Amino acid sequence: MLIGIAAQAAFRKNRTGVEEYVYQLINHLAMLPESLEHQFFLYVKGGVGLGKWLPRHTRSLPAARSFSPRQNSSDLAEDQAILPGESSAFAFGEAAPKDGLRSHIPESLEKREGKNFIIKTLYAPIFWTQMGLTPEMFCYKPDVLFIPAHVLPKVHPKNSVVTIHGLEFEYFPEFYPGFHQRYLRWVTKYAAQNAQKIIAVSQNTKDDLVMLYGVNPEKISVIHHGISIHTDLHRCEHRFAQMPYILFLGTKEKKKNTAGLIKAFELLKEKYKIPHKLILAGGKPNRRFYKEEKIDKILKGLKRKNDIVNLDFISEEEKWNLLKNAQVFVYPSFYEGFGMPILEAQAAGTSVITSNVSALPEVAGKGAILVDPKNIEQIAQAIYKIIDDEDLRNGLIREGQENI
C-alpha cells in the first residue's frame, strides 16, 4: 500500500507541539516491522531544510537512481532526497545536503533494512497544501493520505485521515489575526466534513467537532498524544539549580495566559514573600498566525521584574532539566486541544497547576491542581499551596506519575 503523509512540520529545527507530533509519528512508523509492508511518501515544502532534522529512525541519501511504481524510468533524475537508505523507490525533490546525512544518523540504524520512506518535495509560493499538495494528489494519488494537522487538500483520496489538534480559534478568535482565524475555521471545517476518518487528540476536541461542526462522532477516534520521556536526566546542576523557581513552558502567545501568570507571581511576591523566581521558557509565535504576548513590554513596568526570567526557545536537554528542577509547573492556558507540557512535567516528577477548561483536566487527570485561568488570586493561591505543603506536592507528583 502507498501511504502519503504531509510531513513538512517534522523537518523543522525548533519543534513545538504539532511539529513534535509529526516528527515522532514518522520516527515510530519507521520502527514498526509492519511498515516494511508499505511504501510511504513524505510530502515536504520546497526549500525546507532536511539535514539533521530528519526523524532519527529514517535517513536520506543523495542521488538515488531508481524509480517508483508511479513514475517511469524516463523521469529519473539525480537530485533526489531518499530515505531511509539505498531505496528501490524514487522520489522527485531537492538534493540532500552534501554530507548525505550520514553524520546525523545514529550508528545503530546503519543496519536497519527499512527502505520504503521517500521524501517528495513539492513547490508552491503560498498555501502549500492547496497549491502544492493538491496537484500532487491529482497526478499521483496515494492509496491513503494522512494529514497530521487540519489542512486537507481539495483533491484527496477517498481514504484520507486528518488529525485535529483543537478548536481554540473558535472560542478565542481575539488571540488570532483575523485572516488566519477565518482560514483555520474554513480548513478545519472542510477537513472535518470531508476526511473519511478523523483523529482527535482529546475527547474535548471530539466533543467540539461534534458540537460546533456537526461531525458524525462515529468517524472520530480519540488518540491522546504521547511524549518522549528522557530517563537519562536527573536533578542536576544547571544554570538555575541554585534557586527555587516556578516554571512555565510554551510558546509566548496570548492564548497561553503568561500575562495572567506574571500577575499571579507578583501577587505571590507581595502577599507571601516567596523567594522563588518565575521562569518563562519558550519561543515567540509566528505573528502571522498567533497573537504574541509581549513579555518584555509587560516586565518593564513591574517591581519584581528581576525575579522573572524570560527565556527563548530552549534545547531538549535544558527543557527536561528545567522541568525536573522546578518546584511548580504552571500551565494556565485559556484553551487547549491537548497540552503536552503537562505530561512532560508529570513525567519529570514536578507538581502541576493547570486550567480547569477545555482538554486540560482530561490531560492532567488527578495529577494537577485545576484553576480558573481568569482568576489571578486563585492561581496565586494554588502555587502557594504547593510551595507551602510538601505532602500536597508529593501527592500531586505521585498522581502525575500514575497519569503518565
DSSP letter for each residue of 99-118: TTTGGGS-GGGTT-----EE
| pLDDT above 60: residue 90 | no
The mean per-residue pLDDT over the stretch 281-291 comes to 87
As to burial, measured by CB atoms within 10 angstroms (0-12 exposed, 13-18 middle, 19+ buried), residue 306 is: exposed
Cα 125 from Cα 133, distance rounded (Å): 12
pLDDT at 61: 30
| pLDDT above 70: residue 332 | yes
Residue 318 C-alpha cell reads as: 535544558
pLDDT at 116: 81
pLDDT at 81: 32
As to burial, measured by CB atoms within 10 angstroms (0-12 exposed, 13-18 middle, 19+ buried), residue 57 is: buried
pLDDT category, 112, cuts 50, 70, 90?
very low
pLDDT at 144: 96
pLDDT at 367: 97
The mean per-residue pLDDT over the stretch 25-39 comes to 86
The mean per-residue pLDDT over the stretch 212-240 comes to 80
User: Angle CA(339)–CA(386)–CA(362) in degrees, nearest 5?
Assistant: 25
Q: What is the pLDDT of residues 38-48, one digit of tens each?
A: 999 989 887 54
More confident residue, 80 or 280: 280
pLDDT at 234: 52
| pLDDT above 90: residue 89 | no
* Whether 111 contacts 81, CB under 8 Å: no
pLDDT category, 231, cuts 50, 70, 90?
low
Q: What is the pLDDT of residues 255-265, one digit of tens each?
A: 999 999 999 99
**CA dist 248 → 63, 323, 330, 334, 350 (Å):** 45, 9, 5, 14, 12
pLDDT at 85: 27
The mean per-residue pLDDT over the stretch 16-36 comes to 84
Q: What is the pLDDT of residues 159-188, one digit of tens each?
A: 999 999 999 999 999 999 989 999 999 999
pLDDT at 303: 85
pLDDT at 80: 31
Cα 165 from Cα 326, distance rounded (Å): 28
- Structural domains of the chain, with CATH: 2-222 (3.40.50), 245-403 (3.40.50.2000)
* Helix (H) and strand (E) counts in the chain: 13, 15
Mean pLDDT for all residues in the chain: 81
Instruction: Report the predicted TM-score, pTM, of the whole model to 2 decimal places.
Output: 0.81
Cα 382 from Cα 272, distance rounded (Å): 12
